[in-house]
């Protein structure tokens, strides 16, 4: 049985920061400025370059393609879709927090003052060496067809909207932040699994052994997850894990923004 740890130094009465807390306390602009303003990401972490490289390899290989990709828990970001947008005809993005969805919509409409993703897009283009930033931005804006509200704790995360199963479902740094315990996490993964077509893929980016992260001065909870628990959860749902890549946390000093042991990127295929 996996332990259900609380954050180090937190007493048991501390409430896990679920969706409603995000709605009132999550600052999308501060989050972007802290973690995504440059391709290097936050100075305490190697998260962003690692993830951009892994997603580039995942989608450049040509194995993950199809009609639709669904991203669950997009936040205010588009970085995870840069390499993927060429491989799908339509993309559905989603998030629980209104301000995050507004930032996505502002970027899609190229509104004045929208978040500047050009440095990240440029980085991925140089990594892949086959598209220009302008081409990628146009392709991504044309491919994102829906921006939906989602709650991963629901059997249908998009309730009351119904979305048809997709060739690929992706989620990044969402489940460990949204799920207060392991049972909730299992149910959330089950809900994502139902959105994947037979033979389709589930791509998850997340953190191992993380109990908190900080945006500005605001602390948010995370569910302490192990690789073995994640792998067993997916196998029990009929997935075969194709890749499970990890990046250990920097240990040169105290990380003030999070306490994860490692960042992971996994690709799993649904057999039934």
Tell me, what's the pLDDT at 2?
40
Per-domain boundaries in the chain:
19-270
Q: What digits encode the pLDDT tens for the residues 147-175?
A: 999 999 999 999 999 999 999 999 999 99
Size (the chain), residues: 272
- The CATH T-level fold of domain 19-270 is Rossmann fold (3.40.50)
Token pair 């951009």: residue: 52
Contact between 137 and 65 (Cβ < 8 Å): no
Tell me, what's the pLDDT at 255?
66
Tell me, what's the pLDDT at 29?
97
DSSP at 60: H
Which residue numbers belong to the known binding site?
31, 36, 95, 100, 151-152
DSSP string, 171-237: EES-HHHH-SSHHHHHHHHHHHHHTEEEEEEEEEEEEES--EEEETTEEEE-----HHHHHHHHHHT
Average pLDDT over residues 12-17: 72
Tell me, what's the pLDDT at 254?
57
43 CB-side CA count, 13 A: 3
- Comparing C-alpha atoms, which of 108, 109, 56 is closest to residue 86? 56
* Strands 212-215 vs 218-221: parallel, antiparallel or unpaired: antiparallel
Query: What percent of the chain clears pLDDT 70, i.e. is strictly above it?
Result: 93
The whole-model pTM stands at 0.92
Q: What digits encode the pLDDT tens for the residues 31-85?
A: 999 999 999 998 888 899 999 999 999 998 888 999 999 999 999 999 999 999 9
Q: Distance from CA of residue 35 to its chain's centroid?
A: 13
Report the distance separating Cα 212 and Cα 12, nearest Å.
14
Report the distance separating Cα 112 and Cα 126, nearest Å.
26
Our CA angle for 249, 252, 254, nearest 5°, is 80
Which residue numbers belong to the known binding site for S-adenosyl-L-methionine?
31, 36, 95, 100, 151-152
Our CA angle for 14, 17, 19, nearest 5°, is 150
Q: What digits encode the pLDDT tens for the residues 212-234?
A: 999 999 999 999 999 999 999 99
Q: What digits encode the pLDDT tens for the residues 227-260?
A: 999 999 999 999 999 999 999 998 655 568 999 9
Tell me, what's the pLDDT at 252?
56
**Helix or strand run (H / E) with residue 210:** none
Contact between 81 and 37 (Cβ < 8 Å): no
- Comparing C-alpha atoms, which of 98, 70, 102, 100 is closest to residue 84? 70
């Amino acid at each position: 049985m996996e332990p259900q740890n609380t954050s180090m130094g937190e007493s048991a009465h501390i409430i896990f920061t679920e969706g409603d807390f995000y709605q009132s306390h999550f600052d999308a602009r501060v989050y972007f400025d802290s973690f995504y303003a440059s391709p290097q990401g936050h100075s305490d972490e190697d998260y962003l370059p690692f993830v951009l490289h892994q997603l580039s390899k995942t989608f450049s290989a040509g194995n993950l393609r199809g009609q639709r990709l669904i991203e669950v828990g997009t936040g205010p970001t588009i970085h995870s879709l840069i390499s993927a947008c060429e491989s799908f005809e339509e993309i559905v993005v989603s998030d629980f927090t209104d301000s995050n969805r507004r930032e996505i919509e502002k970027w899609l409409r190229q509104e004045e003052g929208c978040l500047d993703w050009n440095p990240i897009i440029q980085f991925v283009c140089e990594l892949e060496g086959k598209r220009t930033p302008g081409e990628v931005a146009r392709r991504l804006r044309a491919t994102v067809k829906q921006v939906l509200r989602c709650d991963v704790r629901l059997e249908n995360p998009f309730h009351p909207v119904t979305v048809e199963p997709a060739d690929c479902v992706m989620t990044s740094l969402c489940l460990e932040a949204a799920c207060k315990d392991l049972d909730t996490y299992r149910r959330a993964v089950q809900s994502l699994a139902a959105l994947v077509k037979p033979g389709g893929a589930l791509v998850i980016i997340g953190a191992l052994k993380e109990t908190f992260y900080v945006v500005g001065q605001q602390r948010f909870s995370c569910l302490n997850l192990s690789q073995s628990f994640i792998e067993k959860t997916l196998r029990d749902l009929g997935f075969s894990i194709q890749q499970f890549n990890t990046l250990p946390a920097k240990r040169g000093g105290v990380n003030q923004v999070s306490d994860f042991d490692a960042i992971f990127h996994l690709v799993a295929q649904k057999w039934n």
